[in-house]
Amino acid sequence: MLAKSLNLQEGEWQASFQSIFGREEWTKPYTKDTLESLAQSGVKNVQVVCPGFSADCLETLEEIDDENRGYFMKAGGQKFGYISALNARQDHIEAIISVVSPHL
C-alpha cells in the first residue's frame, strides 16, 4: 500500500525482514542480504523506511540506520538514506488520538 501511495512501480521497491531472533530461520529475504545484493548488483543509492514502526526506537536506529548502512556501503553502495518514523510529530499524535479515542 505504501509503494502504491508513492506511485512506485514494480522493481522500484523491495520489502525485507529484520530482527532475526535466536537460531531459528526467520522470514526472508533478510534485510542485510537484500542490501548487500543490491549494492553488489550495481545499485548505488537506497532509501530505507520501516513502515511498521510509528516511532524510531534504539533498536531500529542501531540495526537499520547503522548496521545495515554499513552492510550496504561495504558491498559497494554509495548513498544510504534512512527515512525516519513519524515519531512525536503533532499530526502523528493527533492521528493516533483519532484512532484510539473512540475505543476508550
Q: Count of domains in the chain?
A: 1
| DSSP calls for 49-70 | E-TT-SS--HHHIIIIIIIIHH
Residues 77-104: tens digit of each pLDDT? 999 999 999 888 999 999 999 999 999 9
The domain in which residue 88 lies consists of 26-103
- CATH number, domain of 75, equals 3.40.50.1400
Residues 6-65: tens digit of each pLDDT? 899 999 999 999 877 778 888 899 999 999 999 999 999 999 999 888 889 888 899 899
> Does residue 6 sit within a domain?
no
pLDDT at 2 over 90: no
DSSP state of 78: -
